[in-house]
Amino acid sequence: MESFNTLIVVLDSTVRLSIPLLLACLAGLYSERAGVFDIGLEGKMLAGAFAAGAAAAVYGSAWAGLGAAILVSGFLALVHGFASITHRGNQIVSGVAINFIAAGSTIILGQAWFSQGGRTPSLDAESRFGAITLPFAEAVQDIPVIGYTYYELISGHSALTYFAFAMVFVTWWVLFRTRFGLRMRAVGENPAAVDTAGISVPWLRYRAVLITGVLCGFAGSYLALAQNAGFVKDMTAGKGYIALAALIFAKWRPVPAMFACLLFGFLDALAIRLQGTPLPVVGRVPAQLFQALPYILTVILLAGFIGKAIPPRAGGIPYVKER
Amino acid sequence: MSTPYAKLPAWADYGLIPFFNLVVAFVVAGLVVLLVGENPFRAAAIMVEGAFGSGRNIAYTLFYSTSFIFTGLAVAVAFHGGLFNIGGEGQAYIGGLGVALVCLSFDSILPWWLTFPLAVLGAAGIGAAWAFIPAYLQARRGSHIVITTIMFNFIAASLMVYLLVGALKPLSSMAPQTRTFAPGGQLPKLNWLIELFGGTVRSSPFNLSFLLALFCAFLVWLLIWRTRLGYEIRTQGFSAKAARYAGIGETRIVLVTMMVSGALAGMMALNPVMGDQGRLQLDFVAGAGFVGIAVALMGRSHPAGIVPAAILFGMLYQGGAELAFEMPNISRDMIVIIQGLVILFAGALENMFRPSIQTLFASLGAQSSGVSASSSERA
């Protein structure tokens, strides 16, 4: 029983740690499926987190925070779109630029507006996304295994958590069951064909990039308003890149993306749990190995040793309508 | 691209357009300063004063520039081969390991002028080896080099933390760093160079690796524009198909280009580790690998552009440190914004002003030829 409860606790923190990854990963999925590489997920998430923390602190409402995060992150997404769709600039370069602009300006503006060393003021429960207790969770928590799992693991997360899991299936539906999704996938594979069919390639790509911005805003809001009580400088700490790794790991598909994010979140939770405790057989595993594992796994996958990750064919190539 | 544009003269292509892009980047940065509630012109004045106001300030500026020359060259060499090496940060970090291992082994046996070449080999060798893996995966297994080099930055960071809190840390110490090197593992300072020109430097970290950086800039120019290998690298970068048709081995070029790039990034570690701190510390690279991207883009991947671009960024770093004293609201992170804006406007949006400048030149060209035609009529 004891070990079962431990497992549930670890899985619970897995969910908490993987939600920002999942939201950012789904965000990246839209953009990359439409043929626009986006390594600026990290920056958009960070700027979103800052906007969420700042707006929630000023207006005292989590929803205001979420709205601000979406606006700021969406704006950065439009900058990325402007550079890489309208001006056909290098998408990687543009993404790198956005990461730096976000990293610098969140600290500068945070310090100038709140004077707390780059943090935003600590939020009270009112202006955060609190835990939602699902119906009957209190009542069934004493039932062994099932009741406890329901109470501890499934219930008691924030609205954004349930939103993230819902988005996995919404994304699947949009991508594979709607006209927009079909066109979006087509524009990532063969934009010339889409163009020939009389559909605007830039407009499709702009919409995809904008969705990416909105979802990154959600990811940032989760960090600042649900996982923590306010923005802390550099709080994404590479999560945008792990999300990118998860996206590749999932081969640009929504449901595998969820599992990849849960796996990477689990590794993180395990690293925290196991800090300093020796494992059977292998002995003490350094925490740094767990931290590096998502990256190592992605490299191995990319090298084609676990299946093969083939990106959308037109990814990274600006579309030129006429020569 | 529907209207035909006049071909631009070289000075406009290599001077005017980058200048415009840079001006826009600084105007936007000025807006951020305004948003924070400070005067951007005063901020700029403090920055320039802080970077060049005294001999000591110049020495610090050049110290920072040294690192950026190395990382800028690293990114530029990869650009020439059509590769985007975002892994400069990790290659420099792991390059520090090469420097530290050489210094820790030889610092009490050999004088610095014998340790130095060994440390250069160590830094370049480990940096190149770290770049070799993503290069191999790109050339042979078809994985995207941008993604793998990003992953390798994080793997390098984890590895270095593991080594610095474990094997490399002296037993008696708590701080995650190696022991301080003996004089045999420390580079002489170049402060006399500035004093030669009349500046006074009491103490600064400006050291010998600056000269090595300039020498590397020369070597890169030699390699890219004056050797057969450089020609092959440029061909590969210009058109991989043409290179294949010309019988240039793609795998070999990708591997060699990335290893040269990694070696240059790795050598950046000499400047802070052997030249300044005299020990290997956590996070000594401090973003210099990423600054290299901005430097290479601004310098148009040419050593003659990279060195001034690196000095400009050195100025921003040193001036930014002084600025943080004068205007507490503007910390050094302002540089990160400027860096991002430079990358955005000089890199991703480099063609934003091209059409308008080209039309301008076309209309000017038409006017002047019209004038000459009418004047010849009169004659």
Structure tokens at A175: 């991508």
* End-to-end CA gap in chain A: 69
**Cβ within 8 Å, pair A302-B148:** yes
**Cβ within 8 Å, pair A291-B35:** no
Is B309:B346 a contact under the CB 8 Å cutoff?
no
Q: Give Cα separations from A205 to A34, A169, B196 (angstroms).
A: 6, 21, 58
SS (H, E, C) chain B: CCCCCCCCCHHHHHHHHHHHHHHHHHHHHHHHHHHHCCCHHHHHHHHHHHHHCCHHHHHHHHHHHHHHHHHHHHHHHHHHCCCCCCCHHHHHHHHHHHHHHHHHHHCCCCCHHHHHHHHHHHHHHHHHHHHHHHHHHHHHHCCCHHHHHHHHHHHHHHHHHHHHHCCCCCCCCCCCECCCCCHHHCCCECHHHHHHCCCCCCCCCCECHHHHHHHHHHHHHHHHHHCHHHHHHHHHHHCHHHHHHCCCCHHHHHHHHHHHHHHHHHHCCHHHHHHHHCCCECCCCCCHHHHHHHHHHHCCCCHHHHHHHHHHHHHHHHHHHHHHHHCCCCCCHHHHHHHHHHHHHHHHCCCCCHHHHHHHHHHHHHHHHHHHHHHHHHC
pLDDT score recorded for residue A281 = 64
User: pLDDT tens for residues B182-223?
Assistant: 888 888 888 888 787 777 777 788 889 999 999 999 999 999
Over range A157-182, report the average pLDDT: 92
Best residue of B145, B151, B165, B353 to probe chain A, by most A CBs closer than 10 Å: B151
Chain A from 178 to 237: CB within 8 A of any B CB: none
Helix, strand, or coil here: A283? strand
> Is residue B160 over pLDDT 80?
yes
Question: In B, which residues are within 8 Å of A111 by CB distance?
Answer: 329, 331
Place of tokens 């499934």: A154
- Partner residue facing A303 (CB), from B141, B329, B337: B141
Helix, strand, or coil here: A168? helix
Nearest chain A residue to B138 by CA: give it. Answer: A303
Q: How far is B215 from chain A (nearest CA, A)?
A: 28
Percent of chain A topping pLDDT 90:
37
| Residue A109 at interface with chain B, using a CB cutoff of 8 Å | yes
Distance, in Å, from the CA atom of B6 to the CA atom of B341, rounded to the nearest integer, reads: 28
Largest CA distance in chain A: 70
pLDDT score recorded for residue B368 = 58
How large is the ipTM?
Answer: 0.86
> Is residue A323 over pLDDT 60?
no
Chain A from 28 to 47: CB within 8 A of any B CB: 37, 39
User: pLDDT tens for residues B243-276?
Assistant: 989 888 889 999 999 999 999 999 999 999 998 8
Percent of chain B topping pLDDT 90:
34
> Is residue B54 over pLDDT 50?
yes
- Picking from A82, A9, A31, the residue whose alpha carbon sits closest to that of residue A243 is A31
Distance, in Å, from the CA atom of A98 to the CA atom of A42, rounded to the nearest integer, reads: 9
Best residue of A249, A302, A310, A321 to probe chain B, by most B CBs closer than 10 Å: A302
Place of tokens 């999300």: A243
Distance, in Å, from the CA atom of A75 to the CA atom of B222, rounded to the nearest integer, reads: 43
Specify the CATH number of the domain B39-326: 1.10.3470
**Cβ within 8 Å, pair B334-A104:** yes
Give the pLDDT band of residue A308 (cuts 50, 70, 90).
low
What's the Rg (C-alpha) of chain A? 20
Indicate the range of A66-80, A157-171, B350-364 predicted with least confidence. B350-364
Q: Which has the higher per-residue pLDDT, B198 or B179? A: B179
Neighbours of B334 (CB within 10 A): 26
pLDDT score recorded for residue A32 = 92
Over range B326-339, report the average pLDDT: 82
Task: Provide DSSP, A169-224.
Answer: HHHHHHHHHSHHHHHHHHHHH-HHHHHHTT--HHHHHHHHHHHHHHHHHHHHHIII
Q: Which has the higher per-residue pLDDT, B351 or A222? A: A222
- pTM confidence score: 0.86
User: pLDDT tens for residues B223-238?
Assistant: 999 999 999 999 998 8
Helix, strand, or coil here: A1? coil
- Picking from B284, B163, B131, B126, the residue whose alpha carbon sits closest to that of residue A288 is B163
Q: Give the angle subtended at the CA of B23 by the CAs of B17 and B26, to the nearest 5°.
A: 145
**Cβ within 8 Å, pair A296-B155:** yes
By DSSP bridging, strand A157-158 and strand A131-132 are antiparallel
pLDDT score recorded for residue A158 = 84
Domains in chain A, start-ordered, CATH in brackets? 2-128+142-302 (1.10.3470)
Please state at what angle helix B209-226 crosses helix B228-238, rounded to 10 degrees.
70
| Residue A304 at interface with chain B, using a CB cutoff of 8 Å | yes
